[in-house]
Amino acid sequence: MRRRWLAAVAVSVAGLLTLTACGGSDDKAAGGGQSGQKKVEVFSWWTGPGEADGLKAMREIFEKGNPGFTFYDAAVAGGSGDQARALLSSKLQANQPPDTFQGHAGAELQGYIKAGKLEPLNFLYDELKLKDVLPQELIDQISVQGQVYSVPVNIHRSNVLWFNPSVLKAAGISEAPKTIDEFIADLGKVKKTGKIPLSIGSQWTAVHLLESVMLGSLGTDAYNELWTANADWSGANVTKALENFKTILSYAGTPQEDWQPAAKQVADGEAAFNIMGDWAYGYFHNPPDGGLGKQSKTDFDWAASPGTDGTFMWLSDSFTLPKGAPNRDGAVAWLKVAASKEGQDAFNPKKGSIPARKDADKSLYQDYLAWDLDQWASAKLAGSIQHGVVANDAWRTAINDAVGLFQQDQDVAKFQQALIAAAKNSGQ
């Protein structure tokens, strides 16, 4: 099963490379837009409802302010960007970079930086005075030896429990579970009703689930310790966290193609719970042409994932300036839009995220997003595994592989040994 999944990924990447070589659609033709315009290739994985709408909103600002450039959308489908990163790696190795590409702030970019594939952006931070409007902790995560290598567009929260109030009520559950033990008990109650206790998507969503279960089981300090030089992945507390993960995973329904159809099962009342990042809010809430058009607190509701209340497991989408970018000036123009208050306030309400900037218009962030802004300002912080904050790409890939094997054999001891080896060989 695992080999078939890897083969499918290989075929997908090969297909993507072929499509790229062929030049894609008319909108992405090599010549760009109108005569005299120069295209700016923006590489991302924002193709789904909500995220594509946010990208479109920033694109409109970019094209209005930069009539000499035309936006070339090089987005590659697939939640969390696994397929996009595989294709991007091939392009960078072939010295064929896009003008700019999306990357998660944090450890994910370290490989590109060490390989000399990115230009530092200190000149842009100085020009736009970004260090005055971005949180220092975020700047630290995207800097290496004093050099800043990306422009963060947003802040996402990974550890969110989405649930259907009607399904919970029918199962005799009056409120969202606050602890891992309560969560497991509630999953059992839902199962007795015949509904899906926990919806899940493709393999990366299982890693996303794992990080919340580990945080909820270990606590913030012990979780954060795992990503330091003093980490002990062999401890009994890690074993217990993995046993919790096994139990919770046993209540999951049939894996869906990606996170959107899994989330939709909750919104449609087919499933009770889904643990997913706050991009799910945009998908639930946005009108039907870009989302599901559902009503919060009625069709869906939210809470911190079990055991994690008071901790914000964060990630941030950012854009880079590759060395050798074919249209460097166009890339810098795009980065300025991504960094701007106008760009972030256009993008984030549609995407279902909050702005990286501290001076954004808070009136635009209502409902879930208002709660999120308040939590970001007051909660403890922990970094996401799957979304590039705490683990570099090699380490994250090894964890993904270990989760994939565990989904097949359910062997906790073997799983823990694989995670110990992944940490040891991370080179981070």
Closest by CA position to 283, among listed 256, 302, 310, 263: 263
What confidence tens digit (pLDDT) does each residue in 86-130 have? 899 999 999 999 999 999 988 989 889 999 999 999 999 999 999
**According to the model, what pLDDT value does residue 64 have?**
97
Neighbours of 137 (CB within 10 A): 9
Q: Which residue has the tokens 């922990």?
A: 382
Written as one letter, the residue type at 402 is A
DSSP state of 174: -
Query: Taking every pair of C-alpha atoms in the chain, what is the biggest distance, in angstroms?
Result: 65
Asked if the model's pLDDT at residue 221 lies above 70, the reply is yes
Q: Tell me if 423 sits within 8 A of 107, measured CB to CB.
A: no
What confidence tens digit (pLDDT) does each residue in 159-170 have? 999 999 999 999
Q: Which domains, from first to last, does the chain contain? A: 24-153+319-363 (3.40.190.10), 160-313+387-424 (3.40.190.10)
Q: What is the average per-residue pLDDT within 353-372?
A: 94
Q: Cα(64)–Cα(305) distance, rounded to whole angstroms?
A: 40
CA distances, 255 to each of 168, 201, 208, 375 (Å): 21, 5, 14, 30
Grade residue 36 by pLDDT with cuts at 50, 70 and 90: low
Closest by CA position to 373, among listed 359, 386, 383: 359
Across the chain, mean pLDDT equals: 90
Q: What is the average per-residue pLDDT within 296-314?
A: 97
Asked if the model's pLDDT at residue 319 lies above 60, the reply is yes
Q: Which residue has the tokens 């839902």?
A: 190
**According to the model, what pLDDT value does residue 50 have?**
79
Query: Percentage of the chain with pLDDT > 70?
Result: 91
**According to the model, what pLDDT value does residue 49 have?**
75
Closest by CA position to 88, among listed 49, 59, 54, 117: 117
Q: Cα(137)–Cα(383) distance, rounded to whole angstroms?
A: 11
Asked if the model's pLDDT at residue 285 lies above 60, the reply is yes
Q: Tell me if 274 sits within 8 A of 164, measured CB to CB.
A: no
DSSP per position, 40-104: EEEE----STTHHHHHHHHHHHHHHH-TTEEEEE----SGGGHHHHHHHHHHHHTT---SEEEEE
**According to the model, what pLDDT value does residue 3 have?**
33
**According to the model, what pLDDT value does residue 51 have?**
86
Predicted model pTM: 0.84
**According to the model, what pLDDT value does residue 140 have?**
84
Q: What is the average per-residue pLDDT within 61-83?
A: 90
Q: What is the average per-residue pLDDT within 140-150?
A: 89
DSSP per position, 242-266: HHHHHHHHTTB-SPPSSHHHHHHHH
The number of residues in the chain equals 428
> 330 is written with which tokens?
């166009």
Going by C-beta distance under 8 Å and a sequence separation of 6 or more, which residues neighbour residue 191? Answer: 197, 251
Going by C-beta distance under 8 Å and a sequence separation of 6 or more, which residues neighbour residue 417? Answer: none
